């Protein structure tokens, strides 16, 4: 197990290193930092002097070394637009996105588990069939379209829910949360439903197919033969083993969810990382783009490594297969 | 004739005849694809021709609404273009990009999957790790990053000119891992079979074994995957265009049309967003339904996730 852990952590470090190289390459090719920082009314000599002072005339590997050294210390450069450290901007915007992901994960969890389990237990019932039918419609509707249609219906036509922003926030230390006020919940409702709309059908289908596979297995037949109650076989014996693959897929889907936050936040003008990212793209704000890439990369690698480690803990065959 | 007869006796045709959903999906899809191919003949107006666009005609609702006019059946967009024509041309672009991107990712992914799976070793380990990492970021994230960076590097105006080949490249490069993994999984199963052994004993070169002997046996999972991937590619293109990282508004795809309509939805012009959105959903849904049908018929163990 320790060898497995060390190998996974080593892989994670390599991936983070590669991401940092990509980030550095982006920083080198997008925008001119001297012009962004000095403005137009500065003479050519002063600019050259400034360039020298910033170390932009050094060979690229020296510059990369400096970039990497700074990045490890949490310094990812200064945003051209905000004129503040990019890390600071990221940390300020992160809570909005994390809350959005959290609430939509809860929605997915609360609906996918009972619905998936039910449609596996009673695959021929009318409800299960309707569910499977509507789930394929669900995956075929793009997130941004769901979001726009919800805005049109609930904000413009009915006027029940606010169409943009996060509403009233409460500061908890540096974390501005909208989850403690009624207004905040009204604002997060539509974005989180929109965000979960594409993932929910996928999870229902996944849980259903895993559970159906488990229900066919020998040990479940044995459990029936022993005369255990339905409830015990379904929820204690079968459901437990359904969860294993769901954990791994859940880890992978987090990446997808973060990608979809960009779309959802754009529609609802949700002041989170995705909205900030699109603004940074429009403004060619290279340091902020790179900071977002690094932040998302580290979160993704971190989550995937943790998921793999948990999976290795609960399923020993993975560890052995990995050794070869 | 021989091939046709063979097809008529196949399990695929047998199941297809009995599946009403599959038949309906195929008909819908054929209608949409034909409309896209013959767009210049079918569309009442040419949305790329500035002569035919009058800004005075902008934001006319569909004909069945109160202020609608019979000239523009589905209304007009903010620039005065006929919605029906613009949507047909937009769907054409969406389908071209979707098919192009799938062709690219299939070539890349199948070759990588075949050779990495057959030879194994370091090459295999390298590509599979790369696929893992890329998948953990999700194809959409990779595609968004690539287009965002490229747009920042080449500039928005120039980006618009090369948008179609560029989107094909971005979506193709971001989705090859699915193919590589699926193909590799079937290669690993095929590699140990006796016919491969026989070919090896007969002295065939390894590339001939891979391409002539193993490749035909991986076709059915590839077919199933390709259907789903076309739907995915069309969705990705729409997402990128919606974010303003895809097709420019003077040559809109369905995604950029939805985007242009979104700004106007607060003033009540719902049709500029909803109609292209509906067309996009019908297109993707019919492809997905066919994909589901094919998966049930071939029932290959597709890679999960």
Chain B interface disruption, residue of A138, A140, A210, A296, most B CBs within 10 A: A140
DSSP code of A176? E
Chain A contact set for B152 (CB, 8 A): 30-31, 281, 284, 286, 289
- Which pLDDT score is estimated for B286? 92
CA distances from B23 to B13, B27, B30, B222, B293 (A): 11, 6, 11, 21, 10
pLDDT, mean over chain A: 80
Which pLDDT belongs to residue A190? 86
Q: Classify A180 as helix, strand or coil.
A: coil
Please answer whether residues B90 and B99 qualify as being in contact, where contact means their C-beta atoms are separated by less than 8 angstroms: no
Could you give the angle at the alpha carbon of A243 between the alpha carbons of A241 and A244, nearest 5°? Answer: 75
User: For residue A35, what pLDDT is reported?
Assistant: 64
Task: Calculate the CA A96 to chain-centre distance.
Answer: 12
pLDDT of residue A322: 46
CB contact under 8 A, A300 and B242: no
Q: Which chain B residues are Cβ-neighbours of A282 within 8 angstroms?
A: 244
Distance, in Å, from the CA atom of A134 to the CA atom of A123, rounded to the nearest integer, reads 15
Model pLDDT, residue B51: 67
Closest alpha carbon within chain A to B156: A282
Residue A289: alpha-carbon gap to chain centroid: 16
The pLDDT assigned to B223 comes to 85
At residue A31 the predicted structure's pLDDT band, cuts being 50, 70 and 90, is: low
Q: What is the mean pLDDT of residues A121-125?
A: 82
Res A300 pLDDT > 90? no
Which among A142, A151, A252 has the least Cβ separation from residue B305?
A252
Phi, then psi, of B75 in degrees rounded to 5: 85, -175
How many Cβ pairs within 8 Å bridge chains A and B?
Answer: 112
Q: Please, which residues bridge with residue A171 across strands?
A: A176
Measured in degrees and rounded to the nearest 5, phi and psi for residue A172 equal -115, 95
CB A312 within 8 A of CB A4: yes
Q: How far is B4 from chain A (nearest CA, A)?
A: 32
Rg, C-alpha atoms of chain A: 24
pLDDT at B304: 37
Mean pLDDT in residue range A298-309 = 83
- A196 membership: H or E segment, kind and range: helix A182-215
Q: How far apart are CA A141 and CA B277, in angstroms?
A: 8
pLDDT for residue B87: 87
How far does the CA of residue A26 sit from the closest CA of chain B (Å)?
7
Q: How many residues are recorded in chain B?
A: 305
Q: Contact A294/A71 with Cβ under 8 angstroms?
A: yes
Closest CA to B219 of B12, B30, B1, B27: B12
What pLDDT does A323 receive? 42
Q: Which residues of A touch B258 (CB under 8 A)?
A: 144-145, 148
**Other CB atoms within 10 Å distance of the CB of residue B110:** 23
C-alpha A202/C-alpha A195 separation (Å) is 13
Of all residues in chain A, the percent with pLDDT exceeding 90 is: 0
User: Do B270 and A296 count as a contact with CB atoms less than 8 A apart?
Assistant: no
pLDDT 10s digits, A144-192:
888 888 888 888 778 787 777 777 777 776 677 777 777 778 788 888 8
pTM strictly above 0.90:
no
Does the pLDDT value for residue A115 go beyond 70? yes
Cβ distance B152 to A31 less than 8 Å, yes or no, reads yes
Question: Which chain A residues are Cβ-neighbours of B235 within 8 angstroms?
Answer: 142
Position B305 scores a pLDDT of 33
Choice between A253 and A169, residue whose per-residue pLDDT is larger: A253
Which residues in B lie closer than 8 A to residue A136 (C-beta atoms)?
Answer: 285, 288-289, 292
Nearest-angstrom CA–CA distance, A96 and A177:
7
Contact B304 A206 (CB under 8 A): yes
3-state secondary structure of A269: coil
Task: Of B143, B286, B115, B301, give the one whose Cα is nearest residue B208.
Answer: B115
More confident residue, B7 or A40: B7
Residue of A nearest to B268 (CA): A156
Nearest CB partner across the interface for A148, out of B244, B273, B285: B273
Beta bridge mates, B76: B82
> Which chain B residues in 84-103 lie under 8 Å from chain A, judged by CB atoms?
none
Contact B127, B180 (CB under 8 A): yes
Whole-angstrom distance, CA of residue A213 vs CA of residue B207: 37
Which range (A12-16, A143-147, A291-295, B44-48) has the least confidence? B44-48
Asked whether residue A320 carries a pLDDT value surpassing 60, the answer given is no
Tokens 């230390």 correspond to what residue? A173
Q: Which value, to the nearest 10 degrees, does the dihedral of the CA atoms of residues A174, A175, A176, A177 take?
A: -160
- Is B274 close to A141, i.e. CB distance below 8 A? no
Element (H, E) at A172: strand A170-172
Cα dihedral A194→A198→A203→A205 (10° resolution) = 130
Give the integer Cα–Cα distance in Å for A280 and A81.
Answer: 8
- When comparing pLDDT for A29 and A139, which is higher? A139
Q: What is the DSSP string of B106-129?
A: HHHHHHHHHHHHHH-HHHHHHHHH
CA distances from B260 to A141, A270, B248, B274 (A): 18, 19, 10, 11
Contacts of A31 in chain B (CB under 8 A): 152
What is the Cα gyration radius of chain B? Answer: 22
Alpha carbon of A156 to those of A161, A268, A269: distances in Å? 9, 13, 16
Dist. CA A77–CA A87, nearest whole Å = 8
DSSP secondary structure of B218-286: GHHHHHHHHHHHHHHHHHHHHHHHHTTSSS-TTS--HHHHHHHHHTTGGGT-THHHHHHHHHHHHHHHH
B264-289 core/surface letters (b: 16 or more CB in 10 A; e: else):
bbeeebbbbbbbbbbbbbbbbbbbbb
Chain B's closest residue to A147, CA to CA, is B262
The pLDDT of residue A19 is 84
**Mean pLDDT in runs of 10 for chain B (305 residues)?**
72 79 88 86 74 68 70 72 84 91 92 86 83 79 85 74 85 88 85 84 84 84 87 90 83 84 77 86 91 77 40
Chain A residue with Cα closest to B126: A11
Q: Measure the CA–CA gap between A26 and A135, rounded to whole angstroms.
A: 39
């Amino acid at each position: 197990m320790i060898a497995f852990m060390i190998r996974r952590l080593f892989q994670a470090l390599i991936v983070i290193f590669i991401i940092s190289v990509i980030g550095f390459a982006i920083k080198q090719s997008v925008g001119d930092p001297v012009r962004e920082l000095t403005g137009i009314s500065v003479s050519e000599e002063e600019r050259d002097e400034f360039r020298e002072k910033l170390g932009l005339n050094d060979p690229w590997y020296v510059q990369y070394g400096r970039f990497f050294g700074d990045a490890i210390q949490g310094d990812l450069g200064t945003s051209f637009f905000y004129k503040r450290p990019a890390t600071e901007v990221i940390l300020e915007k992160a809570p909005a996105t994390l809350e959005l992901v959290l609430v939509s994960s809860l929605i997915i969890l609360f609906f996918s588990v009972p619905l998936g389990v039910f449609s596996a237990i009673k695959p021929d019932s009318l409800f299960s069939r309707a569910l499977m039918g509507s789930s394929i419609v669900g995956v075929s509707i793009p997130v941004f379209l769901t979001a726009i249609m919800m805005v049109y219906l609930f904000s413009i036509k009915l006027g029940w829910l606010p169409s943009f922003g996060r509403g009233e926030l409460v500061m908890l230390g540096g974390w501005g949360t909208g989850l403690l006020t009624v207004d905040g919940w009204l604002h997060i409702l539509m974005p989180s439903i929109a965000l979960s709309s594409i993932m929910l059908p996928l999870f229902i289908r996944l849980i259903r197919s895993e559970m159906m596979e488990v229900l066919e297995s020998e040990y479940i037949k044995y459990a029936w033969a022993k005369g255990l109650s339905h409830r015990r076989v379904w929820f204690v014996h079968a459901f437990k083993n359904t969860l294993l693959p769901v954990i791994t897929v859940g880890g992978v889907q987090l990446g997808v969810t973060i990608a979809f936050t960009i779309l959802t936040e754009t529609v609802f003008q949700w002041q989170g990382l995705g909205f900030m990212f699109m603004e940074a793209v429009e403004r060619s704000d290279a340091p902020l783009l790179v900071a977002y890439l690094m932040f998302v990369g580290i979160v993704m690698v971190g989550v995937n490594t943790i998921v793999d480690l948990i999976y290795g803990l609960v399923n020993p065959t993975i560890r052995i297969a990995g050794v070869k | 004739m021989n091939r046709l007869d063979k097809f008529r006796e196949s399990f695929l045709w047998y199941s297809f005849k009995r599946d009403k959903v599959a038949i309906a999906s195929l008909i819908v899809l054929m209608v949409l694809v034909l409309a896209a191919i013959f767009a210049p003949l079918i569309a009442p107006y040419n949305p790329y021709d500035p002569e035919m666009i009058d800004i005075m005609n902008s934001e006319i609702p569909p004909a069945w609404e109160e202020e609608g006019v019979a000239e523009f059946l589905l209304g007009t967009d903010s620039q005065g273009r006929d919605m029906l024509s613009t949507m047909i041309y937009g769907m054409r672009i969406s389908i071209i990009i979707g098919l192009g991107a799938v062709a690219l990712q299939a070539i890349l992914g199948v070759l990588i999957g075949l050779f990495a799976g057959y030879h194994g070793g370091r090459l295999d380990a390298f590509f599979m790790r790369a696929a893992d990492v890329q998948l953990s970021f999700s194809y959409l994230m990779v595609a968004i990053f690539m287009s965002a960076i490229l747009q920042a590097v080449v500039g928005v105006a120039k980006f618009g000119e090369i948008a179609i080949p560029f989107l094909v490249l971005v979506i193709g490069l971001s989705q090859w891992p699915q193919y590589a993994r699926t193909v590799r999984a079937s290669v690993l199963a095929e590699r140990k079979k006796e016919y491969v052994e026989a070919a090896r004993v007969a002295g065939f070169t390894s590339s001939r074994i891979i391409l002539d002997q193993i490749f035909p046996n991986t076709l059915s999972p590839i077919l199933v995957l390709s259907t789903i991937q076309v739907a995915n590619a069309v969705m990705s293109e729409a997402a990128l265009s919606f974010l303003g990282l895809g097709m420019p508004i003077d040559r809109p795809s369905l995604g950029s049309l939805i985007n242009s309509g979104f700004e106007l939805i607060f003033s009540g012009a719902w049709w500029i967003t909803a109609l292209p959105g509906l067309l996009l959903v019908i297109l993707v849904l019919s492809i997905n339904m066919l994909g589901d049908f094919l998966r049930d018929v071939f029932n290959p163990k597709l890679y999960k996730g």
